[in-house]
Amino acid sequence: MPTLTPVTEEGRIYEFCILYPSDLTQKEESDLIKEIESIIEEVGGKQVAKDSWGKRGLAYTIGGHTEGNFIVYHYEVDPSKVRSVETALSITPKVLRHMIVKPPKGYEVVKYSEKFEMWLKEREKQEERKVREKEEALAKKVADRAKRTVKRTEVKKQEEKPAAQPTDKKKLSEELEKLISEDTLNL
């Protein structure tokens, strides 16, 4: 990001933040932007940076609008001419609000529109990760429930089987002797 340093000695870098309605047609928007830029350039301003933030919701209604477009300019302007730019922007139709600020020394221009796009992508990735984690947790719950169900059915099957009687060897031997000793075997 470039650091703001004035090129001429009598010039200073100023930040101009402009808010205008979001419901303008492309032609109206283009004409308004050209008009704003020409107002600043008529007093000898040299554009250093331009950052179009696009359409944003407003915290409160301004001129009947709940949404507006923001543009942030950085211009090198003679400090004695800033008041005339302020006045011209105040009476420019379709400019809802404007603000002129002198950034501190060493200030670096940050393209907030790009940062916003990066933030949106990061937020989307986080939401996808949360969804994936939720799905994995649900799959684990289903698998655990299935394991418990299988275990319950195995326990029930074992309970239903009749228990085998312990064999009495003495009794078994007697029964075998009786069968073998009988003379009437029908073979």
Contact 37, 52 (CB under 8 A): no
Helix (H, G, I), strand (E, B) or coil at 2: coil
Predicted local confidence at residue 119, as pLDDT: 79
Indicate the DSSP class of residue 80: G
Is 1's pLDDT higher than 50?
no
* pTM, full prediction: 0.57
Could you tell me what percent of the chain has a pLDDT over 70? 88
The tokens describing 145, both together, are 């429930």
Specify which of 44-48, 103-107, 148-152, 172-176 reaches the highest per-range mean pLDDT: 44-48
Per-residue pLDDT band for 185 (boundaries 50, 70, 90) equals low
For 119-142, what is the mean pLDDT?
Answer: 87
Residue closest to 23 by CA, chosen among 62, 68, 90: 68
**Six-digit token string for 115:** 């940062």
Rounded to whole angstroms, how far apart are CA atoms 173 and 81?
A: 124
More confident residue, 163 or 85: 85
